[in-house]
């Protein structure tokens, strides 16, 4: 794998994570528990879609085949997507989304902190903006973690279950493969093993302060770095890509 190929895949992963997470969060539109939260969720979705556009645009430029960010979002198949599995899981109930968001926003804050110092100036620029946004997403998820964990018996039960169910999707976030190793040496990406220990230090106290038991799991899901996904992604794409696929000659 050349450095350029590694960079392309890496940018797809950053872009796809934001795109698919944003797609799922936008499903809260008109479905929030109250209007303010409806807006908060779709606002976080909007930040994510904006971020995905920036990363995919850069990916298209690195690829150098005259594609656009929309070609990459709308014309790749499910085996060519690299988003983490956790982002494509259904939104579930509000507790499930909060748990997803806590896991992902802790991860995003740490990753974008590192990437804002990337030797690749374009990545550093996008990451600096993403970091500012992710800090808000983190605060939002953290505060809801406290509310749900310590709110009522029902909210605690739902939130505990969500954290339990999602935990097996967290291992994948910190996998280092050929792409990451090449780019780490170049000073472009970061060391995900270090991110892992920082992530644990960040999320554990929040879960403890939310009276949530830390799950123990004997298996971690994996696959997205090879483009192997859950069954959910295909449905997301058939929905998201519908117009571009049905009318390939049309410009929107």
Residues engaged in binding other proteins (CB under 8 A): 19, 23, 26-27, 29-39, 42-43, 45-46, 49-50, 52-53, 56, 69-70, 73-74, 93-94, 146-148, 150-152, 154-155, 158, 236, 239-240, 242-244, 247, 249-252
Q: What is the separation of C-alpha 222 from the centre of its chain, rounded to a whole number of angstroms?
A: 15
Question: 105 burial class (0-12, 13-18, 19+ CB within 10 angstroms)?
Answer: buried
Q: How many CB atoms lie within 10 A of CB 1?
A: 12
CB-nearer residue toward other proteins: 47 or 114: 47
CB-nearer residue toward other proteins: 80 or 154: 154
Q: Shortest Cβ distance from residue 200 to other proteins (Å)?
A: 25
Task: Name 14's Cβ contacts closer than 8 Å, sequence gap at least 6.
Answer: 51, 55, 123
CB-nearer residue toward other proteins: 168 or 240: 240
Q: Shortest Cβ distance from residue 78 to other proteins (Å)?
A: 16
CB-nearer residue toward other proteins: 45 or 109: 45
Closest CA relative to residue 14, chosen from 93, 166, 89, 118: 118
Q: Shortest Cβ distance from residue 196 to other proteins (Å)?
A: 30
Q: What is the DSSP letter of 243?
A: H
Q: DSSP secondary structure string, 81-146? A: ----HHHHS---SHHHHHHHHHHHHHHHHHHHHHHTT-SSHHHHHHHHHHHHHHHHHHHHHHHHHH
Q: Shortest Cβ distance from residue 85 to other proteins (Å)?
A: 19
Closest CA relative to residue 233, chosen from 34, 35, 37, 89: 89
Q: Shortest Cβ distance from residue 55 to other proteins (Å)?
A: 11
Classified as helix, coil or strand, 60 is helix
CB-nearer residue toward other proteins: 60 or 166: 60
Q: Shortest Cβ distance from residue 192 to other proteins (Å)?
A: 27
CB-nearer residue toward other proteins: 52 or 230: 52
C-beta separation of 21 from 42 below 8 A: no
């Amino acid at each position: 794998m050349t450095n350029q190929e590694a960079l392309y895949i890496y940018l797809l992963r950053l872009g796809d994570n934001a795109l698919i997470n944003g797609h799922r969060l936008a499903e809260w539109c008109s479905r929030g528990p109250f209007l303010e939260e409806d807006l908060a969720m779709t606002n976080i979705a909007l930040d994510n879609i904006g971020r995905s556009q920036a990363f995919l645009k850069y990916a298209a430029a690195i690829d150098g085949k005259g594609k656009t960010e929309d070609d990459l979002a709308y014309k790749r198949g499910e085996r060519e997507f690299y988003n983490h599995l956790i982002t494509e899981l259904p939104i579930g109930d509000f507790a499930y989304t909060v748990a997803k968001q806590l896991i992902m926003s802790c991860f995003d804050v740490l990753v974008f902190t590192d990437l804002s110092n990337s030797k690749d100036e374009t990545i550093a620029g996008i990451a600096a903006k993403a970091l500012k946004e992710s800090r808000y997403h983190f605060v939002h998820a953290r505060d809801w973690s406290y509310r749900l964990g310590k709110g009522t018996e029902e909210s605690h039960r739902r939130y505990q279950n969500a954290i339990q169910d999602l935990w097996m999707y967290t291992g994948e976030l910190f996998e280092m493969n050929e792409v990451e190793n090449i780019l780490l040496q170049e000073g472009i990406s970061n060391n995900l093993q270090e991110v892992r220990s920082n992530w644990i230090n960040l999320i554990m106290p929040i879960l403890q302060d939310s009276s949530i038991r830390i799950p123990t799991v004997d298996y971690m899901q994996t696959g997205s770095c090879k483009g192997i996904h859950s069954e959910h992604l295909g449905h997301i794409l058939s929905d998201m890509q519908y117009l571009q696929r049905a009318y390939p000659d049309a410009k929107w």
